[in-house]
Amino acid sequence: MIKEQYTTWIKEEAKRLGFDGIGIAKAARLDKEAKQLERWLNKGYHGKMGYMENYFDKRVDPTLLVPGAKSVISLTYNYFTEEEQKDPSAPKISKYAYGKDYHKVIKNKLKEFLYNLTEKMGEISGRCFVDSAPVLERDWAKKSGLGWIGKNTLLIHPKKGSYFFLAELIIDVELVPDDPIKDYCGTCTRCIDACPTEAISPKGYVVDGSKCISYFTIELKEQIPTTYKGKFEDWMFGCDICQEVCPWNRFSTSHEEAQFQPTTELLEMTKAEWKEITEEVFKKVFKQSAVKRTKYAGLKRNIDFLYE
């Protein structure tokens, strides 16, 4: 009975902290997913993201991240907003980077969550993750019933779409696991058809990361290959194309997280102002943003690639 009570309490606590979805899966090695990851890496789909090859065993086995782990708690946090950049011709930023860096916002909530767990359950062993460690977060979210992995390889929820961050708590407490839900992509190919760099495989469910606009504008540190000139559709940081065309995102609703609100400067900058952006303006506009990851030189490289 205590297992059921803890599970109920954890789900209530997640909602109290602002998480939109919570699902639980039994902690065990992901054998099927390990083979898929191995194939993906062998094909070089990770491009220059060498870190994807690191800690392979930890990536597929949560008990190596938290010894004695029994449960993986997956969480979703909405970041969708109706807000748009005012100049339709301005270079574009992915919605996830509009506000304060999500790593910091969600990590603080996860730390509070873990602390509250120990207060409730006593001495437990656990770790929290938000896109910052070798965790196959989409696979765990799928296992715990938070959605299915779509043809664009993003987690999709049938009532919420896909504009949400994923986070995990791995703990050494046995909880009641949730059941996965079915795939509702059906015969739809909108994301495949819309991707300007053809990063999504013709049948879907596999993305060549080395062709993705988000990869080029965030992960790649060297010059962007000229063969992709004119194919970025004005995206200077990240890309939302496969989400914008996804029919399930008609169910997306605006988030209620004040820290994700975009600054006025970001929304009002014109194409001309972006082209002339200085390091001083970059630091002001992106003071606490995930865009800082690409640094001023990286963002300037992206903008120049779009318009020179």
Report, as residue numbers or ranges, the catalytic residues. 131
The helix/strand/coil state of 28 is: coil
Of the candidates 91, 70, 94, the residue with the CA atom closest to the CA atom of residue 80? 94
Beta bridge partners of 129: 168
CA dihedral 224, 294, 157, 211 (to 10 degrees): 10
Tokens of 126: 């656990």
**Phi/psi at 69 (nearest 5 deg)?**
-55, 140
CA distance 142 to 21: 12
Of the candidates 251, 208, 218, the residue with the CA atom closest to the CA atom of residue 20? 251
CA distance 291 to 282: 9
The helix/strand/coil state of 289 is: coil
Tokens of 138: 């989409």
Q: Which stretches does DSSP call E strand in the chain?
A: 21-26, 71-78, 92-93, 126-129, 148-149, 155-156, 164-171, 235-237
